[in-house]
């Protein structure tokens, strides 16, 4: 092969990313096109979801509706990708395949991202659990997802007292 494979972005129907990737991989396997279509990826990240004081790791799509593919573009590979069920086309002007730059590829694959989501917001009443202040109720003043901490205003001994608590020690107070 005189051409080098480059990374491209395919647009898909939302929720069809994994199916499109598997269908392309299966077609590549069946037609023995490994040197033309080298890799297919659905970009994902590990995220921590915290609800009612329990945290769990979940895998989440980084770019819903998109699939990354490392391939050599020719008429056959373009046709194969464009006619995969659930695929709406390549990302680029007039749906023409436009390769990603080295910086974009490095940003997509070189950085490990982990995010946290919570089921409360600033101003919500929450209950502290799992430490010396267990059972106290406070009002959320600030949420720091990076450090995984929450600033609360807790009523103690008739006074409003600011405190910082780890996110996983917070439960939403039911009304």
- Length of the chain, please? 175
Please give the model's pTM, rounded to 2 decimal places.
0.62
Reported as a single tens digit per residue, the pLDDT across 107-164 is 777 644 455 678 888 999 998 887 778 888 899 999 887 778 899 999 888 889 899 9
Q: Is 97 left (phi over 0), alpha (psi -120 to 50) or beta?
A: beta
Contacts of 5 (CB under 8 A, 6+ apart): 36, 37, 38, 70, 71, 72
Q: Over 90: is that where the pLDDT of 1 sits?
A: no
Buried b or exposed e, range 71-94, using 16+ CB within 10 angstroms: bbbeeebeebbeebebbeebbeee
């Amino acid at each position: 092969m005189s051409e080098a494979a480059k990374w491209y972005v395919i647009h898909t129907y939302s929720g069809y990313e994994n199916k499109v990737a598997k269908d392309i991989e299966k077609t590549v396997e069946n037609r023995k096109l490994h040197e033309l279509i080298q890799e297919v990826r659905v970009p994902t990240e590990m995220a921590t979801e915290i609800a009612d004081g329990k945290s769990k790791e979940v895998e989440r799509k980084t770019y819903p509706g998109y699939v990354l593919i490392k391939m050599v573009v020719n008429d056959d590979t373009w046709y194969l990708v464009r006619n995969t069920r659930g695929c709406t086309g390549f990302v680029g002007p007039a749906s023409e395949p436009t390769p990603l730059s080295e910086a974009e590829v490095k940003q997509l694959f070189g950085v490990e991202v982990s995010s946290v989501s919570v089921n409360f917001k600033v101003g919500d009443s929450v209950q502290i659990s799992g430490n010396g202040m267990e059972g106290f109720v406070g009002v959320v003043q600030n949420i720091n997802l990076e450090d995984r901490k929450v600033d609360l205003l807790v009523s103690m001994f008739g006074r409003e007292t600011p405190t910082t608590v780890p996110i996983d020690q917070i439960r939403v107070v039911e009304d």
